[in-house]
Amino acid sequence: MSEAATHDDHHDDHHDHHPSGLMRWITTTNHKDIGTLYLLFSLTMFFIGGIMAMVIRLELFQPGLQFVDPQFFNSMTTMHALVMIFGAVMPAWTGFANWMIPIMIGAPDMALPRLNNWSFWILPFAFTLLLSTLFMPGGAPAGGWTMYPPLVLQTGAAFPFLIFAVHFMGASSIAGAINIIATVFNMRAPGMTLMKLPLFVWTWIITAFLLIASIPVLAGAVTMLLTDKFFGTAFFSAAGGGDPVMFQHIFWFFGHPEVYILILPAFGIVSAIIPTFARKPLFGYSSMVYATGAIAFLSFIVWAHHMFTVGMPLAGELFFMYTTILIAVPTGLKVFNWVATMWRSSMTFETPMLFALAFVVLFTIGGFSGLMLGVTPVDFQYHDTYFVVAHFHYVLVTGAVFALMAGAYFWLPKWTGNMYDEKLGQWHFWTSTISVNVLFFPQHFLGLAGMPRRIPDYAVQFADFNMVSSIGGFVFGLSQLLFVMVVVKCIRGGEKATDQVWEGAHGLEWTLPSPPPYHSFTVAPEPSSIEGGMR
């Protein structure tokens, strides 16, 4: 390695003179800086969206309306979803990609550094637009994050802000995706063949293609909403010969791939963490790659399972049922492979491993309820109830967010050069895992017993489980403050991390010093140091 082992990240002098202080962060084109920006932005949004979730759980703590009016409640559910999906989870994955992909594939930086800077800085702008609607006459959007017309067209002054915020978020994601594809295609170190890529890189590549194929469709759909509202088109208005159900088809054509955009990188992270702490290579590396591809492909032909109750011909319902339950095959394969990796291994249970193991169990529970929801006739009961709410929170919170946490603990020592506080990390894990189940598991029962989703108040027979769920919610919300403590403590100092950090860690990123120099792999690593993705 030609790089001096100094960790000077304030300035370096052999490429460009970048300013220090705030201007450094605004003008930075360095993949590590931008990765950090993404991750901090996402953490901020996680708490903003979290506060909205707390408002929701507070109002649902007891039957009757005690705190907010129904319109504001609907704004909270709508904004919570938009903020968490587009503000917390998606930017977090892009942050991980920025930080890790170049140092995983032995590249000096992302392929398009200036575009990288832009794609991040669009985001704060987009979310300022979106969050500003909370203070507008008529309130923030309250028609659900799915923006179904005609209801969404009843939104007040916030409507154009919602549409343009979605456009900007989409532009940011597409730019990020283009950058990642260009980086992996063109910047891999010699010897880093495609089938040697770490699975996180593989899952991200597939995610990036999903983004490029699906986000523009969302952009089209919301543009049609905009012209329907202001320019007299009638794409979705029955009065003008359009069809409101068509919006749902177009939206979910985007929406289902979007679900996998949120979860595929999680598969990659878990596939990195389990072998590390099991000290055993990942079982079935290539079948993992093919399964990810299969899931991505299927995600484009299952969309109507989000709208079985809208009324479609029998043949359509059957088709979408069959394709939907078929997704269980590649997804099941992944879970079996992770379990096989653990078989006859030598495991230790540091915080990243704990989160990864919880991911496997809890994501699988979310997968089971997903399978149940995919069966059309039974979906006529489950649809739009708390059963669905429980399902997608198992997949997205104990799935995507837990994998994010696992990844953060896994790489924090690499990023900061310091070990995080393991004891605090374990506390964070156990409080989160217990409370998140108290929060979401009873919601299965609520849904089955007949509680619809997106209601601010409920019949008294739902009271007990809602109270339990709310208590779980408050504890889960508070336990995330522990994570902030861990991160702050880790940035400030702590036991110095070694280059390899974890005993069982393999891969190029662990050959760099912790933290890595501001510019890493300016000279490509030795091909012999590339081991292949199963480790």
Partner 1 sequence: MSDAKLKQANSRVVRRLLATTVLMFAFGYALVPLYNVFCEITGLNGKTGRLTDVEAAETTVDMSREVTIEFVTNVSSDMPWEFRPLQSTIKVHPGVETMVEFEAINIAQYEVTGSAVPSVAPSAAARYFNKTECFCFSQQSLAAGETKVMPVRFIVDPGLPQKVKVVTLAYTFFESLNTAETAPQLATPPPS
Partner 2 sequence: MTFSKIFGSRTKQAVVAAMLALPASASAEWGLNLPRGVTPFSREIYDLHMLILGICVVIGVAVFGVMFYSIVAFRKSKGAQAAQWHESTVVEMLWTVAPFLILVGMAVPATKALIMMEDVSGADMTIKVTGYQWKWHYEYIEEGVELYSTISSDSNVARRLDSGIDPNTVQNYLLDVDNRLIVPVNQKIRFLTTAGDVIHAWWVPALGWKRDAVPGFINESWALIDEIGVYRGQCAELCGKDHGFMPIVVEAVSESDYAAWIEQQKSESDQPVALNIEHN
Would you please indicate which residues are annotated as catalytic (active-site) residues? 80, 109, 145, 172-173, 256, 258, 260, 271, 305-306, 331, 334, 453
Indicate which of partner 2, partner 1, none lies near residue 235 (CB less than 5 to 8 Å, by partner kind): partner 1
Long-range contacts of 478-484 (CB under 8 A, 24+ apart): 478/431, 479/428, 479/431, 479/432, 479/435, 480/46, 480/47, 480/50, 480/428, 480/432, 482/424, 482/427, 482/428, 482/431, 483/405, 483/408, 483/428, 484/43
Name the minimum Å distance from CB 209 to partner 1. 9
Within 13 A of 96's CA, how many CA atoms are on the CB side?
A: 29
Which residues between 179 and 198 bind partner 2 (CB under 8 A)?
none
From the list partner 2, partner 1, none, pick the one residue 494 interacts with, judged by a Cβ distance below 5 to 8 Å according to partner type.
none
Task: Say whether 418 sits in a helix, a strand or coil.
Answer: strand
Distance of CA 115 to the CA centre of its chain: 22
Closest distance to partner 1 from the beta carbon of 376 (Å): 16
CA 535/CA 100 separation, integer angstroms? 16
Q: How far apart are CA 267 and CA 412, in angstroms?
A: 19
Map the footprint of partner 2 across residues 440-499, applying CB under 8 A: 445, 448-450, 452, 454-464
Number of residues that bind partner 2 (CB under 8 A): 94
- In the set 385, 398, 479, 520, which binds partner 2 (CB under 8 A)? 385
Q: Are 323 and 302 in contact, with CB atoms under 8 Å apart? A: yes
d(CA 489, CA 484): 8
Judged by beta carbon, residue 34 or residue 158, the one nearer partner 2 is 158
Q: Binding partner of residue 249 among partner 2, partner 1, none, CB under 5 to 8 Å per kind?
A: partner 1
> What number of other Cβ atoms are within 10 A of residue 378's Cβ?
14
Tokens of 296: 């991505």
Which x/- pattern over 300-319 shows residues binding partner 2 (rule: CB under 8 A)?
A: -------x-xxx--x--xx-
Name which position in 375, 471, 475, 491 contacts partner 2 (CB under 8 A).
Answer: 375
Q: Tokens at residue 506, please?
A: 């393999």
Q: Which residues bind partner 1 (CB under 8 A)?
A: 111-112, 174, 177-178, 181-182, 185-187, 212-221, 224, 232, 235, 237-241, 243, 245-246, 249-250, 253, 311-313, 315-316
Query: Which one among 8, 16, 384, 495 touches partner 2, defined by CB under 8 A?
Result: 384
Q: Which stretch binds partner 2 (CB under 8 A): 41-49, 101-109, 280-288, 505-513?
A: 280-288
Find which of partner 1, partner 2, none residue 464 binds, CB within 5 to 8 Å per kind. Answer: partner 2
Please, which of residues 224-253 interact with partner 2 by CB under 8 A?
A: 238-239, 243-245
> The tokens of 409 are what?
């603990």
- Contact (Cβ atoms closer than 8 angstroms) between residue 112 and residue 178: yes
Residues in the chain, how many? Answer: 535
Least CB distance to partner 1 at residue 253 (A) = 7
In the complex, the smallest distance separating the C-beta of residue 166 from partner 2, rounded to whole angstroms, is: 18
Are residues 473 and 423 in contact, defined by beta-carbon separation less than 8 angstroms? no
Query: Of these partners, partner 1, partner 2, none, which one is at the site of residue 475 (CB under 5 to 8 Å by kind)?
Result: none
407 neighbors 353 (Cβ within 8 angstroms): no
Draw the binding track, 2-31, toward partner 2 (x: CB under 8 A; -: no contact).
Answer: ------------------------------
196 touches, from partner 1, partner 2, none (C-beta below 5 to 8 Å by class) = none
Instruction: Report if residue 337 touches partner 2, rule: CB under 8 A.
Output: yes
Please give the structure tokens belonging to residue 318.
Answer: 């059957």
Q: Pick from partner 2, partner 1, none: which does 122 bind, CB < 5 to 8 A by kind?
A: none
Interacting residue with partner 2 among 6, 20, 132, 381 (CB under 8 A)? 381
Q: Compute the distance between CA of residue 165 and CA of residue 270 in angstroms, rounded to an integer.
A: 32
Rg (CA), the chain: 23
